Amino acid sequence: MQKAFYTGLLFIALGIQSAGQATGRVAAVPDTFYNIRNEYNKQLQNHPGIKMTGNLQSNYLAEQKNIVYCRMGQRKLLLDVFSSKQNNNDSRTAILMIHGGGWKSGDRSMHYPLAQRLAILGYVCITPEYRLSAEALYPAAVYDIKAAIRWVRRNAKKYNIDTARIVVAGHSVGGELAAFMGATNGLSSFDGNNHNAQYSGNVNAVIDMDGILAFIHPESGEGDDSKKLSAATQWLGYSKTQKPELWKEASPLTYAGAVAAPVLFINSGVTRMHAGREDFIAVLNKYNIYSAVKTFKGSPHSFVFFNPWFDSTLIEIDKFCKKIFPQQKNLPAAELTVAQDGTGIFSTVQAAFDAIPLNNTKKIKISIKPGTYREKLFLDSTKNFVSLTGSDKMETILTWDDHTGKISPSGDTINTRTSWSCKIKADDFSANNITFQNDAGFTAGQAVALESDGDRAVFIDCRFIGNQDVLFLNNEKSRQWFQTCYIEGTTDFIFGAASAWFQKCEIFSKKNSHITAASTPAFNKMGFVFDSCVLKADTSLHNVSLGRPWRPNAHVVYMNCYIGSHIKPDGWSNWNNTENYKTARYAEYKNFGPSADPAKRVSWSRQLSDEEAREYSLKNFMQSWYPHK
């Protein structure tokens, strides 16, 4: 009796006659239940830390909305185009973004945030609408997306699109439709009667974000009509038991074969949304067609809309496209914005770092809006020419809390060289109005806030906050410039082998210990030079040294600096009677203040003559490189 009741309900809901599938009609009121706000409220209970990503406002973004790509009588199907305004003549990869919503709800605006940010990264993104199940049943949506692909090919020249690099991406049922497009390359039976028939509906790659690959499959949960009509039943017009051949026909897995496009699967932690994925990959492998899988464990089905997954999804799409299309050009020389409130291109600094292509040759500015960004940050050695700019150094804080002895997530014991909150390996890096911090605590031991290893590094109006071993200038071949910066710590809080010039910086000691621990190699003419800096501390401190030699030949010079009363009269320390002080190159010149008396200094340090001091020029220090703001 129950089965007969629901079968009757199915016919009533869809207007299906026993002789055939209904064609459907436009609903009086569109189904708007599936939207980002509703999903956010739904997911908050299990994922209280999630954040929505809003629409992007950027001077580099070009938007054209409500473009008609297909007409069927009075019905107009619309799409939107997002691209970068950067003056770049390189042809671009196109990405069609297909929204989800169970084939019956949702709309194309749901993917505006993702499309906008991909556009800034150098893609042309298209968000098409398609007919939902209340208006037209399967395969109408398939016909519509094929028509949108043909529209892209027709307008490729207008938007500078390479027609060999057309990607179709989608989330949920949009992912199913995207996979269907890639699997049915060359099958004219799904072209429909929509516009631009002279152009191909084939695609060159697919990004399936939690879209099932098979409706009739042990992993699939589609087609359960016992309590209410399933979304798939409403779209296909028949239940699974009535027309199993139709359910198979609508499954992307049915068509996977030699002409299928490469696929990136981005999946949530909801297992049933992966239905048919491994079988699909097995077919791709048979024909040596590339595929990749990224799974966000524990994430909800709607992961693509929210951080902490949105930024990672964006980066995975970019990486996949550059893998499939090596000719995809690097990021345009644009400004990338980071904002925790979702108004930037990224919500995390690391995501912005990840978006910069390897072997980068263009200047890229990353602007960070106010906030405390708790991230362990790493910039690869090939991601050069990056500038990091905060809106206010007191309000733009990059911090983490690793320290020696702490166990990392991988199970390793952290030491000084792995304790950094931020590590910069790239050359030609600059930062201004940023606080780099390690907040592990006063008694945590070695805890690096910033490790700077690249050559020609510039830091202006920045703060370096921590306790022991705060600023690690590790590369003996690097030159670094610090201007009007604030640096505070307890022990050896400026240390390493690099050549670093500190101009008009404030150095604040928080413990009776040592400011510097240089490990300058003998072949480096200069190590740490402090020019016109101010050395301060809490009034309770009276036994702080200017430095101790971490390695032989350590080189540190203070010139024209204010030396506060916290510095001990003899100035320097010999590192517990090691032999390094015998080769240390420690010197001062025209310092002033309560503890600047040269007569009281240790015998193995020296005061520079005027002639010797003239050797400490930017020209000699920088060696053909001059830092500028």
pLDDT at 329 over 80: no
Lowest-confidence region among 332-341, 358-367, 406-415: 332-341
H or E element in which residue 293 lies = strand 291-295
pLDDT at 189 over 50: yes
Q: What is the mean pLDDT of residues 211-228?
A: 87
Phi-psi region of 175 (alpha: psi -120 to 50; beta: other; left: phi over 0): alpha
HSE-up of residue 133 (Cα within 13 Å, Cβ side): 24
Question: What 3-state class would DSSP assign to 542?
Answer: coil
Phi-psi region of 103 (alpha: psi -120 to 50; beta: other; left: phi over 0): left
Structure tokens belonging to residue 445: 């031991």
Q: Residue 22: inside a domain, yes or no?
A: yes
Q: Residue 422: inside a domain, yes or no?
A: no
Backbone phi, then psi, for 337, in 5-degree steps? Answer: -110, 140
* Cα 330 to Cα 123: distance, rounded to the nearest angstrom: 10
pLDDT, residue 21, reads: 55
pLDDT, residue 152, reads: 98
Nearest to 341 by CA among 295, 391, 376, 293: 391
Structure tokens belonging to residue 371: 């906030």
pLDDT, residue 87, reads: 64
Q: What is the pLDDT of residues 260-308, one digit of tens each?
A: 999 999 999 998 898 999 999 999 999 999 999 999 999 999 999 999 9
Q: What is the pLDDT of residues 49-92, one digit of tens each?
A: 999 998 998 888 999 999 999 998 899 999 999 999 876 678 99
Q: What is the pLDDT of residues 90-127, one digit of tens each?
A: 899 999 999 999 999 999 999 999 999 999 998 999 99
Query: 343: Cβ–Cβ under 8 A, 6 or more apart, which residues?
Result: 54, 56, 57, 337, 369
* Domains held by the chain: number: 1
Lowest-confidence region among 111-125, 213-227, 243-257: 213-227
pLDDT at 624 over 80: no
H or E element in which residue 360 lies = none
Residue 200 — pLDDT band, cuts 50, 70, 90? Answer: very high
**Helices vs strands, H then E, count in the chain:** 12, 35
pLDDT, residue 88, reads: 67
Q: What is the mean pLDDT of residues 390-400?
A: 96
pLDDT at 183 over 80: yes
pLDDT, residue 26, reads: 44
Output the pTM of the full model.
0.85
Nearest to 178 by CA among 220, 137, 132, 144: 144
pLDDT at 193 over 80: no
Nearest to 121 by CA among 172, 79, 84: 84
Nearest to 507 by CA among 477, 540, 534: 534
H or E element in which residue 462 lies = none
Nearest to 301 by CA among 103, 30, 104, 34: 34
HSE-up of residue 403 (Cα within 13 Å, Cβ side): 18
pLDDT at 6 over 50: no
Residue type, 223: G
Mean pLDDT of the chain: 91
Lowest-confidence region among 318-332, 378-392, 510-524: 318-332
pLDDT, residue 86, reads: 78
Domain hosting 241: range is 2-43+62-310
Residue numbers annotated as active site = 469, 492
Phi-psi region of 471 (alpha: psi -120 to 50; beta: other; left: phi over 0): beta
Structure tokens belonging to residue 375: 């991230």
Q: What is the mean pLDDT of residues 408-419?
A: 93
Nearest to 250 by CA among 259, 238, 258, 262: 238
Q: Residue 621: inside a domain, yes or no?
A: no
Q: Residue 620: inside a domain, yes or no?
A: no
Look up residue 146 and give its DSSP letter: H
H or E element in which residue 621 lies = helix 618-622
Q: Residue 363: inside a domain, yes or no?
A: no
Q: Residue 607: inside a domain, yes or no?
A: no
Q: Residue 341: inside a domain, yes or no?
A: no
Residue type, 480: Q
Query: Across the chain, which distance is largest between two alpha carbons, in Å?
Result: 107
Contact in structure between 550 and 576 (CB atoms under 8 Å)? no
Q: What's the distance, CA 355 to chain centroid? A: 5
Structure tokens belonging to residue 105: 């709800």
Q: What is the mean pLDDT of residues 446-456?
A: 97
pLDDT at 518 over 80: yes
pLDDT at 27 over 60: no
Which CATH number do you get for residue 118? Answer: 3.40.50.1820
HSE-up of residue 152 (Cα within 13 Å, Cβ side): 34
* Cα 123 to Cα 20: distance, rounded to the nearest angstrom: 43
pLDDT at 459 over 90: yes
Look up residue 404 and give its DSSP letter: T
Look up residue 600 and give its DSSP letter: G
Question: What 3-state class would DSSP assign to 411?
Answer: coil
pLDDT at 1 over 50: no
Q: What share of the chain is helix, strand, coil (3-state, %, to 5)?
A: 20, 25, 50
Cis status, amide bond into 139, omega within 30 of 0 = yes
Q: What's the distance, CA 259 to chain centroid? A: 32
* Cα 555 to Cα 524: distance, rounded to the nearest angstrom: 9
* Cα 612 to Cα 588: distance, rounded to the nearest angstrom: 11
Backbone phi, then psi, for 294, in 5-degree steps? Answer: -125, 120
Task: Write the DSSP assignment of 492-532 as a string of letters.
Answer: S-EEESSEEEEES-EEEE-SSSBSEEE---TT-S--EEEES
Contact in structure between 378 and 348 (CB atoms under 8 Å)? no
Contact in structure between 331 and 121 (CB atoms under 8 Å)? yes
Classify each residue of 587-619 as buried b or exposed e, where b means 16 or more C-beta atoms within 10 Å of its C-beta. Answer: bbbebeeebbeeeebbeebbebeeeebeebeee
Residue 332 — pLDDT band, cuts 50, 70, 90? Answer: low
Lowest-confidence region among 31-40, 322-331, 536-545: 322-331
Q: What's the distance, CA 68 to chain centroid? A: 33
* Cα 547 to Cα 495: distance, rounded to the nearest angstrom: 9
Q: What is the mean pLDDT of residues 548-554?
A: 96
pLDDT at 18 over 50: no
Q: Residue 176: inside a domain, yes or no?
A: yes
Pairing of strands 124-128, 75-84: antiparallel
pLDDT at 25 over 50: no
**DSSP-assigned beta bridge partners for residue 499:** 479
Contact in structure between 135 and 208 (CB atoms under 8 Å)? no
Backbone phi, then psi, for 226, in 5-degree steps? Answer: -70, -30
The H-assigned helical ranges of 155-257 are 173-183, 231-236, 244-249
